[in-house]
Amino acid sequence: MNHLTPSTVRAPAPNHLTLEGALALAERIEQYWIRRGYDNVVAGAYPVPAFDGTPAYGIRSNVLECIRAGRVNAAPWVHF
């Protein structure tokens, strides 16, 4: 499995991000945190960085919130 780093995780171009693509990216980011000891990020038991820089719980719910709020392409996507 590829290791995700700021150099390998990039925000997609504004018109190329679909809901399916956002969820796939969220899954990869979840795996990044799980490998580093955040063993329950999917359930939201531990805080993880939000895409807008604020603390949030659970990566996938945060992706969906950003999509609904029109902040899909907030940069950077991942704060780590």
The model scores a pTM over 0.75: no
pLDDT mean values, one per 10 residues, the chain (80 residues)? 50 58 72 66 49 53 61 44
**pLDDT of amino acid 31:** 74
The pLDDT value given to residue 25: 74
37: left (phi over 0), alpha (psi -120 to 50) or beta: left
Separation of alpha carbons 78 and 58, rounded Å = 13
Contacts of 29 by beta carbon, 8 Å cutoff, 6+ apart: 4, 9, 59, 77, 78
